[in-house]
Structure formats: structure tokens, C-alpha cells
């Protein structure tokens, strides 16, 4: 080999990136990067499709109204025998809301007592907005379970059992078995339990459940729990059973 050809070969080798020979090195890095991107894209797609499937499942179901609901978007009237002359107390809650569970623990019995004495017309609106925040469908399914319980005359017992069985970790959600157990704790047994289960499994009231969430947003409800007395939102800061009783008395005709 002449000195000139050897010098030329040395210059070519110096100009070639290390590891380039044989198509390795940088090419391998590029290929590996592409593979990683494709894997990430596949995972993201799977998650998106999974969420889409869940949303489609949530939208499925029947359009019948549960007992106690006057129309789509309306809450469930707990005590329909109450005279129309007493104040209306609207309670908005989401079954996955931990503050709602605490509110129920502290004031649920007092609010129910007002309804049992027909001192108010108690209307409960079961919302499901936390499904979007927590990326599950537990609020929707729990609300469906409550609507089916209303058909059996057990709305409030189911409502109480559901909040009593709320997972300690927010977002853990409810299993179908959990919701069935709440129906049993509410006193739904035998043939009534079979009817409840069929109602729940077929999501017989699902369109109603969705309409309650939609209507609450239109009505300016942007958080839970929310309590309205004759359409006026009550301030829950410093709220007590005594303060509620006083406001109900003042609103009574």
C-alpha cells in the first residue's frame, strides 16, 4: 500500500463515527428509540381505548325513571307524603365523595329526621362527576344501585349503607359485589333483591342517572356536598343541625 493510499484510508476512518461500521452504533440507537416510542404509543392507545370502552359502557342502559323521581334530571323525593307547603331541601352528593361521607356521618340522621317528620320535602340528587376525576365508573354504578333501591322503597337505607361502606382510599371505587352488599344491608332481600339485581345489572335507570348529573351542572352545582333550601344554596361553613333546623323553621310558611 502506498503512503498516499494509506493516508487516504486513515482520513476516511477518522471521518467515520465510531461504531458506524456494519450498520451498528448510531443506527441501533435510532432503531431502539423508535421501538420505545412505538411501545409508549401502544400503551397510551390501550389506556385511551380502555377509557373509551368504559365511557361507552356507562352511557348504555335504560331510560326508565326510578320511584320518587318526577322527571329526567330531577332528584329522588324521599318523602312524597310531605305537604307541598313545607320547605324543599335539596341534597347533592357523589357516592365517591369523602367529604359527603363525613357530612352524612355528622348530619345524615338529622336531615333524615326532618324528612321523617315531614318538616321538609327531602330531594336527593346522586351525582357522578367524580368518575371523570378518578377515572372509574363507581359513582355512576353506585347511583344506579341507589335508583334501583328506590324502586324497592329502600333509597335512604341504601344511601346510608353506601356512604358507610365508602373505601378509605379515594378512587379505590366500589366493586359490583360491594354495591350488592349495600342493597342487602338496606334490607332488600328475597325476590326484591333479585329484582334489584336485575335492575342494576341492566342499568335500567342509567339515562336518568346521567341526566341528574347534567341537570345539576345546569343548576350551578359545582361541588359536593351541596344543600339547598327552597332553591337557595346553604353555607356549610360552621353548619350545624341546629342551624339547619332554624333555617327550616324560618322558611316554613
Check residue 59 and give its pLDDT: 61
What is the pLDDT, as a whole number, of residue 250?
Answer: 97
Q: What is the pTM of this model?
A: 0.78
Q: What is the pLDDT of residues 110-144, one digit of tens each?
A: 999 999 999 999 999 999 999 999 999 999 999 99
Q: Is residue 239 pLDDT above 60, yes or no?
A: yes
Q: Are strands 121-127 and 88-94 parallel, antiparallel or unpaired?
A: parallel
The tens digit of pLDDT for each residue in 133-173 reads 999 999 999 999 999 999 999 999 999 999 999 999 999 99
Q: Which residue from 188, 181, 166, 158 is spatially nearest to 76, judged by alpha carbons? A: 158
Check: CB of residue 43 under 8 Å from CB of residue 49: no
Among 95, 77, 79, 68, smallest CA distance to 158 is for: 95
Amino acid at each position: 500500500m502506498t503512503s498516499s493510499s494509506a493516508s487516504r484510508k486513515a482520513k476516511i476512518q477518522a471521518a467515520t463515527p465510531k461504531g458506524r461500521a456494519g450498520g451498528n452504533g448510531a443506527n441501533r440507537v435510532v432503531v431502539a428509540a423508535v421501538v420505545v416510542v412505538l411501545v409508549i404509543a401502544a400503551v397510551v392507545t390501550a389506556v385511551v381505548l380502555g377509557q373509551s370502552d368504559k365511557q361507552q359502557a356507562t352511557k348504555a342502559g335504560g331510560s326508565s325513571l326510578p320511584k320518587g323521581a318526577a322527571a329526567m334530571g330531577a332528584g329522588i323525593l324521599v318523602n312524597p307524603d310531605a305537604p307541598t307547603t313545607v320547605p324543599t331541601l335539596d341534597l347533592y352528593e357523589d357516592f365517591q365523595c369523602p367529604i359527603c361521607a363525613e357530612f352524612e356521618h355528622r348530619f345524615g340522621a338529622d336531615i333524615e329526621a326532618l324528612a321523617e317528620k315531614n318538616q321538609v320535602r327531602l330531594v336527593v340528587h346522586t351525582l357522578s362527576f367524580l368518575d371523570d376525576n378518578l377515572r372509574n365508573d363507581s359513582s355512576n354504578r353506585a347511583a344506579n344501585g341507589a335508583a334501583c333501591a328506590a324502586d324497592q322503597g329502600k333509597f335512604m337505607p341504601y344511601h346510608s349503607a353506601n356512604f358507610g361502606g365508602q373505601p378509605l382510599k379515594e378512587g379505590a371505587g366500589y366493586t359490583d359485589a360491594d354495591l350488592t352488599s349495600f342493597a342487602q344491608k338496606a334490607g332488600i332481600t328475597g325476590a326484591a333483591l333479585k329484582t334489584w339485581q336485575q335492575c342494576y345489572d341492566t342499568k335500567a335507570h342509567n339515562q336518568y342517572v346521567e341526566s341528574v348529573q347534567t341537570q345539576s351542572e345546569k343548576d350551578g352545582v359545582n361541588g359536593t356536598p351541596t344543600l339547598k333550601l327552597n332553591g337557595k344554596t346553604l353555607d356549610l361553613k360552621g353548619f350545624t343541625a341546629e342551624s339547619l333546623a332554624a333555617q327550616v323553621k324560618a322558611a316554613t310558611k
